[in-house]
A and B are shown apart, each in its own frame.
Chain A
Amino acid sequence: QSALTQPASVSGSPGQSISISCTGTSSDVGGYNFVSWYQQHPGKAPKLMIYDVSNRPSGVSNRFSGSKSGNTASLTISGLQAEDEADYYCSSYRDSSTLVVFGGGTKLTVL
């Protein structure tokens, strides 16, 4: 059981928008703006897509955006493309001995 809760799967058609939720507690997602999102293709290492809730590192498409409300963060992907099909993980700082917690991952299928 992962520390942060994500839906197991989401799907969408090319060109559509989808959102992936990530629910934590006031000790992590709700208490700090230190939420990040990662994309992972099969057999590959995770890739940073969003940091500090809504910031994109250089080189990441502006089709990816992040937001947060209370204890739930969200990743939105607009204009879905076939190459967006991957697993997506959220992460947050946590004010405990476990500094960083992850969600269980969401498999995105582009129909």
Chain B
Amino acid sequence: EVQLVESGGGLVQPGGSLRLSCAASGFTFSNYWMHWVRQTPGKGLVWVSRIYSDGRSTNYADSVRGRFTISRDNARNTLYLQMNSLRAEDTAVYYCARLYCSTTSCYYAFDIWGQGTMVTVSS
């Protein structure tokens, strides 16, 4: 079964740090670009970050650039999000998501999502 499982969320004080993990299974993880998307409770989805399949290129939303770092370990089939200098507005459910690819092309869409991990930034 193709699956993504996030972990590492929790309660952290403003200014603190947290590292999220996303364990992939059921597909060749090293072939796919991966993303993080967050969702504020009761609100919409917001794209956070992207990493190429080989990990050599990354992109970030303006709101997290300089504070968050996306990385991956293809040998361990795991995606990471290191979050530093956390703010109250970072409180959200964080999803890892796989870029949708067919046998011939990839698309700006996410076909596999994890179940999400909740991050709460509060004193």
Contact = CB atoms under 8 A, between A and B. Distances in A.
Given A36-B109, A48-B110, A98-B61, A103 B44 contact: yes
A100 B95 contact: no
B interface secondary structure, majority: strand
A104 B47 contact: no
Given A51-B100, A57-B100, A100 B47 contact: yes
Nearest to A45: B113
Contacts, number: 69
State which size class the interface on A falls in.
20 to 34
A105 B111 contact: no
Interface in B31-61: 35, 37, 43-47, 50, 59-61
B107 A102 contact: no
A51 B109 contact: yes
Interface of B: 35, 37, 43-47, 50, 59-62, 65, 95, 100, 107-111, 113-116
